[in-house]
Chains A and B, each alone.
Chain A
């Protein structure tokens, strides 16, 4: 289909003479005049594609099929990206796509099959969690923060609960800490197993995703018998956890632990020895150490590039100082390294769960706190190591029962940002290998 020359790009319209009764507050906004009928719609100029008056394709004409926004570019980088050279074209890996990890829109500038530049467009899943948290009380914050990285929601809860515990100067009982670590590591294993499956699915293998879901189902059923929910657990509380370990959970956990390591190895053999998979991921999307540090990448992606930074060791929280586990690190930094490192992390997590089970203390699972939670006015930051990286939260309290500002720093945002450096130069087919190996979850990115 023909590429529109840059000069034909639409500009946002100056308000037309039709603004007979524009509303008072539309000084900078497009005119909101009423149209007598739908036919009048076609003759007006539109300010943006998101304008809901733009409803019918045939009223607009073929030149608006270009998925690139027609309003003028505002920033330096935008104008650099949205100007096409000879032989280049835009391809929109749109929010509706079978393999972007959620609603991610990647506007790619291609020269044939080779990617020249990429501009990720976010915000399709923006839910205003931070603003809602400012109007919620502290229990509701835990609810709100669950669906951010929905595949590993306990870590969001953990990160949400830690700064408030600092602000309330509350000491979490040891048994609660052990339970938190136990459930967190279980969920980490589940998330990493799913990562394997999704990576294979994006590369075309249909089988591993189903094996991953079998694993995940076992873990999630376990957690359901403990917390009551399969995915958005709402389990951690400020000062502890909500509900002690029960018999069903322990028996399921025992069953699962007896096969966990063997099952992990079996699942690993699905892909590790596969030549096609190795050729698709080895040497693809190499993230070197300096780029990773400059972009603020954390988690498995950073460790696969050679930097042994893990929040559990760098700035230990909870009972991690007492546990014995290694931080797997790899040097290559390509997609295969990012895949293999998560397999290593699963093994380490199984070790941690083992230790937790052996050393589980008795005692209360919740600290004594008043029902109406009013932390001291102040600021607190805390970070946990979620399966995707360092998940940090910054809470500002003004002494009332609602947080004044609740900032969530999600690791997937910076993990995805580095994709805009890794993708150019590779083929379109590598997009999936690279983006999947970075393991972004759009819920967390868009908040």
Chain B
């Protein structure tokens, strides 16, 4: 728990924080608005007493109500990990500024967040899917992702598999096929 880090962060970032700096064990957490992310990250990276130069992680989070982008940073000047949560992205149209101006490596991490959540990072030159195929239409790690719906939407829907040549091909053909529910006993 690095108390001096809290004072330094309050001094540098005071107005930009949505909530007070939260510290527990060896982690310090700050929450910012998505629009302020470039400024905050620049200050964290460049300020002489902060110097959070190593980007440890960039992740997307879907809390069920809002989406977040979570950055983890490390600095030689502090014994704590710093977690920056860009909070309050809407679930219908999540947009956040890109961190690629500071760390080029964030490009792929943002691609992954886009692929899994649909978060559009403005300023990322290469925002396309990274793990899923390029024409995939769902965002798997969202909390409203349901696998059978995704299967019905995929290009493979409607194809009769070789092994089950007599079975109906789509859910529409066979009303009893589709989502299997376990018998409740």
A residues at B contact (CB < 8 Å): 12, 21, 23-26, 28-30, 32-34, 47-48, 50-53, 69, 71, 74-78, 122-123, 126, 128, 130-131, 134, 166, 291, 293-298, 309, 314-315, 378-381, 383, 390, 392, 394, 396, 405, 407, 409, 413-414, 417-418, 421, 446-447
Cβ contact within 8 Å between B105 and A296:
yes
For B25, list chain A residues within 8 Å (CB).
166, 380
CA distance A69 to B133 in the complex (A): 10
Closest to B83 in A: A381
Cβ contact within 8 Å between B128 and A296:
no
Closest CB-CB distance, B103 to chain A, in whole Å?
Answer: 6
Closest to A130 in B: B141
Given contacts A25-B149, A295-B105, A314-B76, contact A71 B134 (CB under 8 A): yes
The A-contacting residues of B in range 46-104, CB under 8 angstroms, are 53-57, 59, 61-62, 70, 72, 74, 76, 79, 81, 83, 102-104
For B141, list chain A residues within 8 Å (CB).
130-131, 134
CA distance A48 to B132 in the complex (A): 13
For B59, list chain A residues within 8 Å (CB).
394, 407, 409
Which of A24, A50, A309, A446 contacts B54, CB < 8 Å? A309
Closest CB-CB distance, A380 to chain B, in whole Å?
Answer: 7
Cβ contacts B133-155/A at 8 Å (1 or 0 each): 11101001100010001001111
For residue B42, CB closer than 8 A to chain A, the reply is no
CA distance A50 to B129 in the complex (A): 14
Closest CB-CB distance, B28 to chain A, in whole Å?
Answer: 10
For A52, list chain B residues within 8 Å (CB).
155-156, 159
Decide if the interface of chain B is mainly helix, strand, loop or mixed. Answer: loop
Closest to A74 in B: B128
For A405, list chain B residues within 8 Å (CB).
61-62
For A378, list chain B residues within 8 Å (CB).
24
Closest to B104 in A: A294
CA distance A28 to B153 in the complex (A): 9
CA distance A75 to B26 in the complex (A): 39
Cβ contact within 8 Å between B105 and A29:
no
For A394, list chain B residues within 8 Å (CB).
57, 59, 70, 72
Closest to B169 in A: A34
For A414, list chain B residues within 8 Å (CB).
105, 108-109
Closest CB-CB distance, B79 to chain A, in whole Å?
Answer: 7
For residue B125, CB closer than 8 A to chain A, the reply is yes
For B154, list chain A residues within 8 Å (CB).
29
For B133, list chain A residues within 8 Å (CB).
48, 50, 123
Most chain A beta-carbon neighbours within 10 Å: one of B116, B135, B156: B135
CA distance A447 to B140 in the complex (A): 13
Cβ contact within 8 Å between B140 and A128:
yes
For residue B27, CB closer than 8 A to chain A, the reply is yes
Q: List 7 A-B contacts (CB under 8 A).
A: A24-B172, A76-B125, A123-B132, A315-B26, A381-B56, A413-B109, A414-B109
CA distance A123 to B137 in the complex (A): 15
Cβ contact within 8 Å between B126 and A47:
no
CA distance A31 to B115 in the complex (A): 23
For B132, list chain A residues within 8 Å (CB).
123, 126
Cβ contact within 8 Å between A23 and B131:
no
The 3 closest A-B pairs by CB, nearest first: A32-B158, A296-B105, A77-B126
Cβ contact within 8 Å between A381 and B27:
yes
For A291, list chain B residues within 8 Å (CB).
104
For B105, list chain A residues within 8 Å (CB).
294-297, 414, 417-418
Known: A75-B128, A293-B54. 14 other contacts (CB 8 A): A21-B172, A24-B172, A26-B157, A29-B137, A50-B133, A50-B135, A71-B134, A71-B135, A75-B125, A123-B133, A296-B56, A379-B83, A381-B56, A418-B105
Closest to B127 in A: A75
CA distance A21 to B172 in the complex (A): 9
For A77, list chain B residues within 8 Å (CB).
125-126
Cβ contact within 8 Å between B107 and A417:
yes
Cβ contact within 8 Å between A296 and B27:
no
CA distance A123 to B62 in the complex (A): 22
Cβ contact within 8 Å between A47 and B155:
yes
Closest CB-CB distance, B152 to chain A, in whole Å?
Answer: 6
Cβ contact within 8 Å between A294 and B103:
yes
CA distance A25 to B169 in the complex (A): 15
For residue B23, CB closer than 8 A to chain A, the reply is no
CA distance A446 to B71 in the complex (A): 20
Cβ contact within 8 Å between A296 and B131:
no
Cβ contact within 8 Å between B153 and A25:
yes
Most chain B beta-carbon neighbours within 10 Å: one of A51, A134, A379, A407: A407
